[in-house]
């Protein structure tokens, strides 16, 4: 993991090293090992390095091609760099380092932008092509968006400027980038608990979409898609190509592909470990590590309250596969003490409360290793979320005439709300009311978006009351994405939506920022190119079978467990997930945050959220008439973020 | 001899602004030439012991909660009216004593005894937040009648004066400001007490002091969060918070949240006898109360500002309620937006960066407090009005 940043100023302007140094320092957590800056005319590149492969200073970035006219700053790993290097050396390229980064400049020289299509890995990169007649800066991001990339293009023709960075913080070092909030993004943040790409929380900044590139020069701006993205999005049967092979052969192939992927991703010049939750994905990674012949260090986080604790499963898996296992048992104080630091790690508002667990676990792992494998992506590729299943099962409701359906579920909602306040015992009732509300959807897209991020969390109309303005009801969001998937079977549409929204904006963003906070590189073997392509070929009936989510990986895991003498039940148990008791904490230990950040008068002065509407939510939550913990946490996170970065 | 029969439902040995004001004012009135004062106060544990050395002739009577107290209080007052024949009734609160005075109109009128009432601020506002407050709100017509029926209304600040006029429609001419005061014999500058420097680990530190009950509108939170803007430049700055209350746990959480836990000292409740020593530990005094008209919570004046001033300390006060009157002007301290911790920090920074300026403001504040804001001055103001009212002759 590293951090990249840079600028391309307007004609006649000169980039200054000092400014790029400031940008680099703003993301020093991402790369504590070295800093590099390169300035040439109006262009400047900056890099913070976390050394993983080729620890020598010679591999510090920016890295250049042989004649120094092509330069790159890069965040990520390219796992097939050895193969590509051989190919490029045969074509006459001379390598100065052992680093995977150098592949990018030589590959680009050889194959142009298509070079990126050959990469198997995770990457966000910026490449300066200073050759005569080119003089262009190219930004690119891997197909799943494992690594983040923000950019800003301001000014018109003749005075246009580009800036980019792995995070928002470096961009905020530049006085010419406006601080104005994108109020639509604020609204969407409240809806999804993240800011959906390609938007950012600021009007003048955007996130590069996963699997795309942007070419910027004085001549203009051009955008395009990587071919890898199309390959992984062929997707999930999208092209109609389905494997007719039987379950047994697909199981064998999954085993092989996963083992290969893990083997590739274990390449490192520093110690590698693995996060182990005891769930299906992380357990499979451990099994695959064993198959690769690596004894590995594993890391789990447990909660002192049994209800939230999964460490027992993780311990069993670790013992069975002979890992060197480490457990962190955290209590409320550990979490609460971490809260003030959140805006420092998440420099764009982010409100998935499990990020606290991720940060604690990453810090814990960083004490022993510099790289950790994570099971991210398994759920998205193999249909692993209960919400995905719920969405699939609720979809047929669409067949009912809209007016009748809305009347029916509207009446059901009113009936349920008439049952009154049942306090904590009324949680099922609250969920039923939420469901009744969701089922009054106006369009298919609206139904789908209800299940992205936090389910609910409030009817859009009520959410809009929180953020006054002429926006917020223009949804459904992700409409173009959902429309582009029309014609695909429902399961594929759900899979694609999760891959392109929740995976990148919540799952991967959380892992990146949490590990970045302590200089730990997270790798995600499930998002290996070959694995993704394989998952796309697996028939849906082997992903969701007899109601069992992620059937094929579970089946593989059950076999692995049997071989190691573990009960196979462990592989089939329902997804538990790691949650924290936020609902209770916001009424008790974290109540001070509600008072501090949602104070009516301070909200009124800020003018962004409607104080009375917020107060209504707070009261309902504190009186246990509803569970608004996610929304309150989003509001608190947002205000903490704003205070830290914009005030 | 001018006889004043006073009543204060809130009285020592309770602590707090009204109880302090009642005791000090009545003692000063009783010490005035040609004046005799009697007080009727609720029976409280430790009350009689206090009364023995209080300097105020006090009769304790058992009283229920305020809303139910007017009738039994009227009975006690009625007996005094008949037997002692005072020249004026002075009510330190409108409920229950003001209402009791109103109930006694049939008795007062033939005897020609007027009543006066003191307004503190918050009790003039209404709220429906809980049952107790709703009950008080239901008594609103009685409140207006008490203030309108008084021969004279005294208030602690210009802010409270405006409230009385607005909320109770009392003619402006009948409302007179009588700022609470301080006893310069009890509050004066002196060297920091060594035992306190040790106890709070304040040796070599630069201290800001708050003396307040820990409630959410008092602004202790903003003083704490302001420290984060000072911490880097003034790691020796400390905030000493004297007082207890329901907000303490939240304040401790906030201190941790902003990473200034080690800069804040919660001293707990401080005995009245050591209050002066605490003021004298500080370079400046702070109280950043915010007005919340819905709760309601407001600072009608803030006697603590005057006590701090008497000890030669400048104040940083929240610009709300009667605090501007309590501070008196920029020559005595700083008025800041109580919601804005950067503004608070800016004033604190001035104290830290320009200690001579802070000392000058502290001296000006002391001159004002000891010259204009003594209890004797307050008593003289009240006496002048009450005597004039009596001479008009009607109840």
Contacting residues of A for B216, CB less than 8 Å apart: 595
Residue B347, pLDDT above cutoff 50: yes
B223 to chain A, minimum CA–CA distance in Å?
13
- Which residues of chain A make contact with B249, given a CB cutoff of 8 A? 592
What crossing angle do the helices spanning B17-30 and B303-310 adopt, rounded to 10°?
Answer: 60
Provide the shortest C-alpha distance from residue B390 to chain A (in Å): 46
Q: What are the residues whose beta carbons fall under 8 Å from the beta carbon of B232, sequence distance 6 or more?
A: none
| Residue A72, both tokens | 């790159």
| Whole-number pLDDT of residue B330 | 97
pLDDT attached to residue B391: 62
Task: Using a CB–CB cutoff of 8 Å, tell me whether B79 touches chain A.
Answer: no
What positions of A carry a catalytic annotation? 2
The distance of B257 to chain A (nearest Cα, Å) reads 6
- Confirm or reject contact between B246 and chain A (CB < 8 A): no
Judge contact between A547 and A183, C-beta under 8 A.
Answer: no
- Residue A634 is given by DSSP the state H
Residues of chain A positioned with their CB less than 8 A from the CB of B295: none
How much is the average pLDDT of A469-486?
72
Provide φ and ψ at B311, rounded to 5°.
Answer: -85, 5
CB nearest B254 (choices: A592, A601, A605): A592
Please write the tens of the pLDDT for every residue from A195-214: 999 999 999 999 999 999 99
Residues belonging to chain B: 395
Least-confidence region, from A91-100, A373-382, B124-133, B370-379: B124-133
Burial A383-421 (b: 16+ CB within 10 A, else e): bbbebbbebbebbeeeeeeeeebeebbeebbeebeeeee
- For residue range B33-73, what is the model confidence (pLDDT) as tens digits? 999 999 999 999 999 999 999 999 999 999 999 989 999 99
Long-range interactions of A484-489: CB distance < 8 A, separation 24+: A488/A237, A488/A238, A489/A237, A489/A540
| Per-residue model confidence as pLDDT tens digits over B137-176 | 788 899 999 999 999 999 999 999 999 999 999 999 999 9
Residue A234 has pLDDT above 70, yes or no: no
Residue B26 — very low, low, confident or very high, per pLDDT cuts 50/70/90? very high
What pLDDT is attached to residue B61?
96
Mark yes or no for CB contact A592/B258 under 8 Å.
no
Q: Looking at the predicted structure, is the pLDDT value of residue A565 above 80?
A: yes
- Calpha distance A224→B284 (Å, rounded): 63
B131 pLDDT exceeds 90? no
Residue of chain A minimizing CA distance to B228: A644
Q: Do B257 and A591 touch (CB under 8 A)?
A: no
Q: Could you give the CA distance from residue A74 to residue A139 in angstroms, rounded to a whole number? A: 10
pLDDT band at A172 (very low <50, low <70, confident <90, very high): very high
Q: Name which of A446-450, A532-536, B263-267, B378-382 the model is least confident about.
A: A446-450
Cα distances from B260 to residues A31, B254, B263, in angstroms, run: 28, 9, 5
Mutate which of B214, B218, B252, B256 to test chain A, going by most A C-beta atoms within 10 A?
B256
Instruction: Tell whether the model's pLDDT for residue B393 goes beyond 60.
Output: no
SS3 per residue for A391-446: HHHHHHHHHCCHHHHHHHHHHHHHHHHHCCCCHHHHHHHHHHHHHHHHCCCCCHHH
Nearest chain B CA: its distance from A636 CA (Å): 13
A3-232 belongs to which homologous superfamily? Aminohydrolase, N-terminal nucleophile (Ntn) domain (3.60.20.10)
Nearest CA in chain A to B290: A601
> What local confidence, expressed as pLDDT, does residue A577 receive?
60
pLDDT for A426 beyond 70 = no
User: Quick one: which of A602, A633, A584 has its CA closest to A349?
Assistant: A633
pLDDT over 70 (residue A257): yes
- pLDDT mean over B293-305: 92
- Residue in B348, B224, B371 with CA at minimum distance from that of residue B282: B348
Q: Is B293 on the interface with A (CB under 8 A)?
A: no
pLDDT bucket at A446, cuts 50 / 70 / 90: confident
Angle (nearest 5°) at CA A401 between A395 and A406: 80
- Location of structure tokens 């989510």: A549
What are the CB-based long-range contacts (under 8 Å, 24+) for A153-159? A153/A216, A153/A221, A154/A178, A154/A204, A155/A10, A158/A10, A158/A11, A159/A10, A159/A11
- Taking an 8 Å cut-off on Cβ atoms, the answer to whether A596 and B259 are in contact is no
Q: In whole angstroms, what is the distance from residue A475 CA to residue A187 CA?
A: 11
Q: What residues in B contact A591, CB-CB < 8 Å?
A: 250
Phi-psi region of A397 (alpha: psi -120 to 50; beta: other; left: phi over 0): alpha
* Contact between B116 and B153 (Cβ < 8 Å): yes
The predicted structure's pLDDT at residue A60: 81
Among B residues 92-121, those touching chain A with beta carbons less than 8 Å apart:
none
Range list of H helices, A272-310: 280-291
| Selection from A236, A233, A216, A234 nearest residue A224 by Cα | A216
Nearest to A405 by CA among A447, A456, A445, A463: A447
Chain A residues touching B254 at Cβ < 8 A: 592, 596
- Among A336, A596, A605, select the one facing B254 at the smallest CB separation: A596
> Can you read off the two tokens belonging to residue B222?
């903003």
Q: Any chain A CB within 8 A of the CB of B339?
A: yes
Residue B394 pLDDT > 50, yes or no?
A: no
- Residue A97 is classified by DSSP as S
Measured between beta carbons, which residues in chain A are less than 8 angstroms from residue B288?
A: none
> For residue A124, is pLDDT > 60?
yes
Per DSSP, the three-state class of A52 is: coil
Q: What is the mean pLDDT of residues B292-305?
A: 92
> Cis peptide leading into A364, omega within 30 of 0?
no
Query: What span, in angstroms and rounded, lies between the C-alpha atoms of A262 and A525?
Result: 6
Interchain proximity A592–B257, CB inside 8 Å: yes
| A605 Cα to chain B: minimum distance (Å) | 9
Q: Which residue of A has its CA nearest to B256?
A: A337
Q: How far apart are CA A120 and CA A79, in angstroms?
A: 6
Nearest to B216 among A340, A595, A602 (CB): A595
Subunit contact A339:B257, Cβ cutoff 8 A: yes
Helix (H) or strand (E) holding A358: helix A355-366
- Mutation site for B-interface testing, chosen from A341, A592, A601, A623 by largest number of B Cβ within 10 Å: A592
Residue A442 has pLDDT above 90, yes or no: no
Q: What is the pLDDT of residue A287?
A: 94
Per-residue pLDDT, A49? 87
Lowest mean pLDDT segment, chosen from A239-243, A565-569, B70-74, B92-96 = A239-243
Instruction: Collect all residues with Cβ–Cβ distance below 8 Å to A310 and sequence separation of at least 6.
Output: A277, A278, A279, A300, A302, A576, A578
Q: Is any Cβ of chain A less than 8 angstroms from the Cβ of B257?
A: yes
Q: Is the pLDDT of residue A237 over 60?
A: no
Residue A365, pLDDT score:
97
Query: Which are the contacts of B222, defined by CB distance < 8 A and separation ≥ 6?
Result: B288, B318, B338, B339, B340, B341, B344
- Chain A residue numbers with beta carbons less than 8 Å from the beta carbon of B221 are 595-596
The crossing angle, in degrees rounded to 10, of helices B220-227 and B248-257 is 20
Share of chain A above pLDDT 90, in %: 63
Confidence at residue A195, expressed as pLDDT on a 0 to 100 scale: 94
Q: What whole-number distance in Å separates Cα of residue A254 and Cα of residue A535? A: 8
Chain B residue at shortest CA distance from A596: B254
Element (H, E) at A151: strand A150-154
% of residues, chain A, pLDDT over 70: 93
User: Cβ separation of A601 and B216 shorter than 8 Å?
Assistant: no
Q: Which residue has the higher pLDDT, A44 or A59?
A: A44
CB contact under 8 A, A339 and B258: no
Query: Looking at beta carbons, which residues of chain A come within 8 Å of B259?
Result: 340
Mutate to test the interface with A, among B250, B260, B340 (most CBs of A within 10 A): B250
Residue A562, H or E segment: helix A551-563
Contact assignment for B221 to A596 by CB distance below 8 Å: yes
Q: Is A606 left (phi over 0), alpha (psi -120 to 50) or beta?
A: alpha
Mean pLDDT of B129-136: 78
> Can you tell me the mean pLDDT for B76-82?
96
Nearest Cα neighbor of A375 from A235, A268, A280, A500 is A280
Would you list the domain boundaries of chain B? 2-181+374-392, 194-372
pLDDT (0 to 100) of residue B138: 83
What pLDDT sits at residue A420? Answer: 62
Instruction: Please count the other Cβ atoms lying within 10 Å of the Cβ belonging to residue A517.
Output: 22
Chain B, nearest residue to A599 by Cα: B339
Host H or E run for residue A75: strand A70-78
Query: Considering only CB atoms, which chain A residues are within 8 Å of B343?
Result: none
Q: Do A592 and B253 touch (CB under 8 A)?
A: yes
Separation CA B124–CA B140 (nearest Å): 9
CATH label, B2-181+374-392, candidates 3.30.590.10, 3.40.50.2300, 3.40.50.2000, 3.40.190.10: 3.40.50.2000
- Is residue A235's pLDDT more than 50? no
What is the CATH number assigned to the segment(s) B194-372? 3.40.50.2000
- Residue B392 pLDDT level (bands cut at 50, 70, 90): low
- Min Cα separation B361/chain A (Å): 30
CA dist A476 and A482 (Å) reads 10
pLDDT at A239 over 60: no
Average pLDDT, chain B: 95
Q: Which of B216, B259, B339 lies at the smallest CB-CB distance from A340?
A: B259
Q: Which residue has the higher pLDDT, A187 or B157?
A: B157
Given this model, what pLDDT does residue B82 score? 95
- Is any Cβ of chain A less than 8 angstroms from the Cβ of B250? yes
Point out the residue among A339, A589, A602 whose CB comes nearest to the CB of B339.
A602
Mean pLDDT of A498-510: 95
Looking at the predicted complex, does its ipTM rise above 0.90? no
């Amino acid at each position: 993991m590293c951090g990249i940043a840079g600028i391309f100023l307007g004609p006649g302007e000169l980039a200054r090293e000092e400014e790029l140094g400031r940008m680099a320092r703003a993301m020093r957590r991402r790369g504590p090992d070295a800093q590099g800056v390169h300035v040439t005319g109006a262009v400047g590149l900056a890099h913070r390095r976390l050394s993983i492969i080729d620890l020598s200073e010679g591999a510090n970035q920016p890295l250049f091609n042989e004649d120094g006219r092509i330069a790159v700053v890069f965040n990520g790993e390219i796992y097939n760099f050895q193969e590509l290097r051989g190919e490029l050396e045969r074509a006459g390229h001379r390598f100065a380092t052992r680093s995977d980064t150098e592949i990018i400049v030589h590959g680009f020289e050889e194959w142009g932008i298509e070079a990126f299509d050959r990469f198997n890995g995770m990457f966000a990169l910026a490449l300066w092509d200073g050759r005569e007649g080119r003089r262009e800066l190219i930004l690119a991001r891997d197909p799943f968006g494992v690594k983040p990339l923000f950019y800003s293009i301001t000014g018109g023709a003749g005075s246009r400027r580009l800036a980019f960075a792995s995070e928002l913080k470096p961009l905020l070092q530049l006085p010419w980038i406006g601080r104005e909030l994108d109020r639509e993004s604020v609204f969407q943040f409240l809806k999804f608990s993240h800011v959906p790409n390609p938007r950012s929380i600021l009007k003048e900044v955007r996130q590069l979409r996963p699997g795309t590139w942007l070419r910027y020069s004085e001549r203009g701006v051009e955008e395009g898609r990587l071919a890898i993205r199309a390959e992984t999005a062929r997707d999930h049967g999208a092209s109609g190509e389905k494997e007719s092979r039987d379950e047994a052969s697909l199981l064998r192939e999954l085993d092989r592909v996963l083992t290969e992927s893990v083997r590739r991703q274990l390449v490192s010049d520093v110690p590698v470990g693995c996060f182990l939750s005891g769930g299906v994905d992380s357990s499979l990674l451990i099994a695959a590590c064993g198959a690769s012949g690596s004894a590995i260090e594993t890391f789990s986080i447990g909660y002192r309250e049994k209800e939230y604790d999964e460490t027992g499963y993780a311990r069993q898996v670790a013992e069975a596969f002979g890992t060197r296992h480490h457990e962190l048992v955290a209590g409320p104080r550990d979490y609460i003490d971490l809260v003030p630091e959140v805006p420092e790690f998440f420099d764009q508002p982010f409100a998935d409360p499990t990020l606290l667990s991720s940060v604690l676990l990453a810090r814990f792992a960083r004490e022993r290793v510099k790289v950790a494998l994570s099971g991210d992506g398994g759920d998205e590729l193999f249909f692993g979320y209960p919400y995905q299943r719920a969405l699939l099962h609720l979809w047929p409701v669409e067949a009912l005439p809209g007016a009748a359906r809305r009347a029916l579920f509207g009446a059901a909602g009113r009936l349920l709300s008439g049952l009154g306040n049942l306090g904590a015992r009324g949680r099922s009732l609250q969920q039923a009311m939420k469901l009744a509300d969701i089922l009054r959807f106006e369009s298919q897209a609206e139904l789908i978006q209800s299940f992205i991020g936090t389910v609910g969390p409030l009817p859009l109309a009520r959410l809009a009351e929180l953020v006054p303005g002429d926006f917020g009801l223009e949804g459904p969001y992700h409409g173009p994405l959902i429309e582009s998937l029309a014609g695909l079977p429902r399961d594929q549409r759900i899979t694609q939506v999760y891959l392109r929204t929740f995976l990148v904006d919540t799952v991967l963003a959380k892992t990146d920022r949490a590990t970045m906070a302590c200089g730990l590189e997270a790798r995600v073997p499930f998002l290996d190119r070959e694995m993704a392509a394989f998952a796309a070929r697996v028939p849906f009936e082997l992903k969701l079978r007899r109601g069992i989510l992620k059937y094929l990986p579970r089946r593989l895991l059950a076999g692995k467990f049997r071989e190691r003498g573990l009960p196979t039940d462990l592989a089939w148990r329902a997804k538990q997930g790691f949650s924290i008791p936020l609902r209770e904490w916001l009424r008790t230990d974290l109540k001070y945050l509600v008072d501090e950040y949602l104070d009516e008068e301070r909200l009124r002065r800020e003018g962004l959220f409607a104080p009375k509407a917020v107060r209504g939510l707070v009261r309902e939550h504190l009186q246990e008439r509803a569970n608004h913990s996610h929304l309150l946490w989003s509001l608190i996170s947002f205000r903490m973020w704003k205070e830290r970065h914009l005030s | 001899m001018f006889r004043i029969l006073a009543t204060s439902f809130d009285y020592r040995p309770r602590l707090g602004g009204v109880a302090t004001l009642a005791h000090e004012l009545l003692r000063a009135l009783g010490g005035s030439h040609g004046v005799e004062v009697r007080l009727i106060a609720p029976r409280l544990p430790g009350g009689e012991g206090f009364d023995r050395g209080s300097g105020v002739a006090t009769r304790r009577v058992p009283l229920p909660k305020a809303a139910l107290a007017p009738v039994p209080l009227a009975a006690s007052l009625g007996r005094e009216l008949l037997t002692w024949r005072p020249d004026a009734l002075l009510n330190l609160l409108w409920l229950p004593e003001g209402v009791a005075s109103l109930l006694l109109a049939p008795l007062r009128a033939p005897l020609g005894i007027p009543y006066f009432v003191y307004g503190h601020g918050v009790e003039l506002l209404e709220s429906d937040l809980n049952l107790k407050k709703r009950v008080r709100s239901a008594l609103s017509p009685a409140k207006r009648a008490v203030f309108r029926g008084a021969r004279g209304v005294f208030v602690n600040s210009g802010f409270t004066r405006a409230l009385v006029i607005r909320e109770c429609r009392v003619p402006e001419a009948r409302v007179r400001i009588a700022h609470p005061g301080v006893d310069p014999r009890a509050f004066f500058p002196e060297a920091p007490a060594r035992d306190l420097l040790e106890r709070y680990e304040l040796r070599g530190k630069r201290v800001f002091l708050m003396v307040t009950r820990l409630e959410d509108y008092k602004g202790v939170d903003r003083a704490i969060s302001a420290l984060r803007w000072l911490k880097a430049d003034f790691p020796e700055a400390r905030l000493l918070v004297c007082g207890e209350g329901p907000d303490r746990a939240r304040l401790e959480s906030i201190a941790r949240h902003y990473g200034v836990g080690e800069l804040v000292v919660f001293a707990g409740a401080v005995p009245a006898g050591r209050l002066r020593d605490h003021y004298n530990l500080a370079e400046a005094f702070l109280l950043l109360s915010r007005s919340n008209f819905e709760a309601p919570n407001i600072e009608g004046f803030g006697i603590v500002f005057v006590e701090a001033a008497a000890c030669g300390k400048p104040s940083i006060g929240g610009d709300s309620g009667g605090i501007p009157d309590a501070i008196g002007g920029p020559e005595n301290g700083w008025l800041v937006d109580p919601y804005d911790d950067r503004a608070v920090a800016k004033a604190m920074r001035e104290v830290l960066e320009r200690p001579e300026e802070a000392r000058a403001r502290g001296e000006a504040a002391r001159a004002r407090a000891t010259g204009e804001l003594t209890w004797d001055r307050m008593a003289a103001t009240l006496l002048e009005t009450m005597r004039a009212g009596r001479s008009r002759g009607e109840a």
